[in-house]
Structure 1
Amino acid sequence: MLSKYKHENLVSLLHFCIESEERILVYEFASRGSLDCYLSDPSLTWIQRLKICIGVARALNYLHDPSDTHQRILHRDIKSANILLDEEWNAKVSDFGLSKIGPANQPQTYLISNAVGTPGYCDPLYWETGILSKESDVYSFGVVLFEIMCGRFCCEYRDGSLLGILVPLWKKCYEEKRLDDIIFHGIKEHMKPDSLNTFSTIAYQCLKRARKKRPTMGDIVQKLEIALEQQEIFDNGEKFERMRANADLAVSPLSYKTESMKSVDMVENMKMPDSENEVNIGLPSPDSVDFISLQIIRNDDLEELKELGSGTLGTVYYGKWRGTDVAIKRIKKSFFAGQSSEQERLTNEFWREADILSKLHHPNVIAFYGVVLDGPGGTVASVTEFVADGSLRRALLRKDRHLDQRKTLLIAMDAAFAMEYLHSKNIVHFDVTCESLLVNMKDRSRPICKVGGFGLSKIKQNTLVSGEVRGGALPWMAPELLNGSDNKVSEKVDVFSFGIVLWEILTGCIVSNTMRPEIPKDCDDEWRRLMEQCWAPDPMVRPSFTEVTSWLRLMSSTKP
């Protein structure tokens, strides 16, 4: 079933195995586990809860009214334990063991079956009559909405025995306008009344006994998105004013511009100068940057454990944030020093990069956690995922014995998957090198590669993007960036750079002072052809990263 249904909020079936008597399904891994583990966790904010609900609603809407299939899926067991969360708190509906299939080319689907499901979540009409419809999933989802709002399970247990179901109490409190009696105290003070009202109303409507009075999943998605928008407007205004106050701004914020940037992997803003000796790190208008997606991290919440390296831009530390391993990059004030025009350009680029990276979510793209505004001496810092083994360049230079042909191919595939994702988001990296590719060798049998180093990245608004790049590594730069014949280039500049990286992976050496290095005579024919296609002088001849990933998959299938 899952192999036919693809949605970002459904858990993905990756592979299956049928060998002798073995039957194995391989699913996408949701690193944060199930939603039921976080219902009473005050660190799961109201904004996060709303986004999780929207994700689940979109998945159910897709299952109930699929546009590219003639079959409708009725889940039959929607509950918080069957909603998984990935590293970025994206919801993934799982466990289709009880699901039923019905025709989608009619307004209603009614199936007669033995009533199954989980007590508390199961539609009472389905339980009484055995008649299943998509409104049965709507009822179950309504229970989940109340769980998220109330911060507790819908059922009370003692010693493994069911004591009672809280849904009737929740409905009564809504009807009597006593929501304050049941709302989770850990998030109550952060809820905007309008958002809460929109949310609680649609949640209550889901629990109507009459199926005709229950909303469709499409209606629920719209209402939840309104609730999120109401909360974000509220939070955005508060957050911007708080940042203004913290920054002690005395002038209007700088306007937001889209330029490139040579610098850190992720970032945000800082203080306007109180004196000539302080650094001007302005604050853009709230309409220019999505502040809600930018996590502000308190410096006191970070623990620096080890210095990893230092450069002209700042110092990188290994540390902890809320128990999680992170990389902390402290940015020097001198990075923003200089003439006012240069300060403004770097400031706008600084904000732009943070805004882009906060929206990237892919297993092969380095995770951006947030920025620190209150660092020592008024410094800023970016906080990102920590990759223990550092750059691919480092691994290649130390001639890591674990990097055999099969594993280097896996690394190349990971990098290609990440670049395919970035290009699908209209992001051109402009700096694909072995230095910007990070590797995790913890599992010696399966190294993992992640793309980082987004200091030069740009968003492609149209078919082409400005080819004006400040900085960059010369041997990896496509010829159209060097000859100055065209100020507009395509995403194929990244494909050229990837071709050079493929040569480095193949040889275990780092390229220098040459546009197209000599290919070893014993090079695999397919690897040779792929490299030559990638670094072709004509961008139109170079493959897309979708084609590159397909090429590498085929190569991988022929390797032992």
Structure 2
Amino acid sequence: MHHHLPLSGDLGVPSSQTRTLVNTWIIGSICNISEPATSSSVPVTSSSVQGPHPFRLIELSEIRKATENFDESLVIGKGGFGKVYKGNMINGESLLVVAIKRLDSESRQGAAEFETEVKMLSTLRHRNIVSLIGCCIHEQEKILVYEYMSKGSLYDHLHKRGTSLSWPRRLNICLDAGRGLSYLHNHVAVDYGVIHRDFKSENILLHESWTAKVSDFGLSKACPTNMLSDYVSESGKGTFGYMDPNIFRSGKITRKSDVFAFGVLLLEVLCRRRAVSKNLGEQEPQGLVAWFQTKKEENLDHIVDSEIRSEIHRKCLEQFIRLAENCLHDKPEERPNMDMVVTTLELLIFSQEKANTQAGGKTIFSRLVDRLPFPSRGEKSEMIEVRAHFQSPNPTLKEVKFADLKKATKNFSMDMRIPPTYVGRVFLAWVEQNTLAPSKERDGIAIAVKRHIPSAKWLAEKNILGQLAHPNIIKLLGYSNNENENLLVYEYMPNKSFLEFFCTETISWEIRLLIMIGVARALAYLHLKNIIHGGLEPSHILLDEDLSAKLGGFGLATNGPETHVLTEVEGRRGYMDPNYQSNGQLTLKSDIYGFGVMLLKSITGRSFFFLHENQTLVDCATGIHTNRRNVKEIIDPRLEDNYSLQSVSECFSLAVRCVSNNPADRPSSEEVLQNLEQIHALYK
């Protein structure tokens, strides 16, 4: 069923009835919501407190004011669709810089793509997807208002401006763009995803901070996640050079078509060559993929942009090219999904960083000097608990005045207390985004403030977590020292911890699996840096507005050698590695044990101490696996039959491996992640 924008009436100054109709069209067209919207703006998730600006209808007079009546001097882009203006809009009490796309009334791209763009972007919320702030529809005027991306497109920097782009910057841009595509394909909703259909460097926009965001959703299509053939295209729309050859053979557009385009982008970033180009001496324009196939056998170094040849570690180059080739595989089913691509890029970046910083066999993390006073072996001291070997937290971590945080939490009022979403005494507060100074409620951003008695654990969490940056690890924003109390400031997670959410809500199998994949990604990141979490348990897994997992609870974390011998064993019973409990040896595989218990909990819905035939959960699961009994006898009954038995069975086998008594028999975090992502891709 097609949905068309109601173009009659004065939508430049919309009535409440018109707002409701347009909003219902926007939401219903993509989510099949039949009930009329009750608000004049599209509902955003609970994260809208600190997320992008909610979508709204904008009056034409406001557009004219922002663009100084469409002054040509403010034009920052042109295309077949029309013109893009830079403008300033009043947003509450502040001035917001925006990009305003005004569609040419004679444009062949016209209403259909405008309609699609509004449908898609008004409901998408992700840091790597450009935000649509609103739209204006007035007679023949069709205008879209986006967040302003000051650095323009990746295409311009690669091929027009000749901007100097280091290899690490290029890698991070690819990672950002990959995360945006991964979100579209797999994480927009449980029952549907989005195929972009026109993914290219021109549609990757760059923020002032060089964060990359995917844009231009005029050709995008929403499709059910369980539709194997995805979307059948009646016409091969897209951009030549990025289009999947399989589209012309089968007429089918799938998520793997976007993956092909991503592979082209990887080559474009590596070679600094357009997707289609005609160079001196060439008779006809040549596609980048075909050019690469003819050149790669000659000398890999010759295909790499000369600016970055000296920066790329040989192994990293080979892995990057292998990833690009996998994305460009002639058979779509052989291409990786975007979750796998993102994971590969993350590991590749860490590998490059490690190669860059190695000196005398040590990485930068192990070479940082620990200034904390550790006692000698056998000497009793509270400082034995300190496991942080980082010299100091990241310099971007803010030291906040204790008095400011006390004020922001209303003197740590119980009204501001966050229930057991976080472990410990944690309070909600509202602060200015840049300074973390107290702000009026809902004027700034929401944060979580955790109170600590002065201890080595506080130092460990501050020093280790303050150095980490990963989408599946809770972000530490700042800290405060006080004589009798210390504070840590985190990003605010609107949903509960995995433990509380699991106990109070019925969660589908797919969401449980996605949560565990998020935790596995965090572990793979930590272990690549030789960081042992040491306290893996459900209460340390926090959930954002999309129920994506973020790992917290770093008070027991340690970094450096792969094995630590500790004089005091700490952690949550049931999730602690038995070897650690018996001999004090904390290893990377200790984290794998805790992960295995959590995976079993996700499958069974039971706590570790649930007794079945006088056995703990781990003993019971191990017995079922060893005796090859039916795993269905222990699957959470709340799932009913809404799961793939093969998916659950494979996860169950993986969990049993993770909780093996012999640490050597447990898989690595990278293997765990790869297995879970393959299971999700095969059986979702």
The structure, 1 or 2, with the larger RCO (C-alpha pairs under 8 Å, 6+ apart) is: 1
What TM-score comes out, normalization by structure 2 length? 0.40
Taking structure 1 as the reference length, the TM-score comes to: 0.48
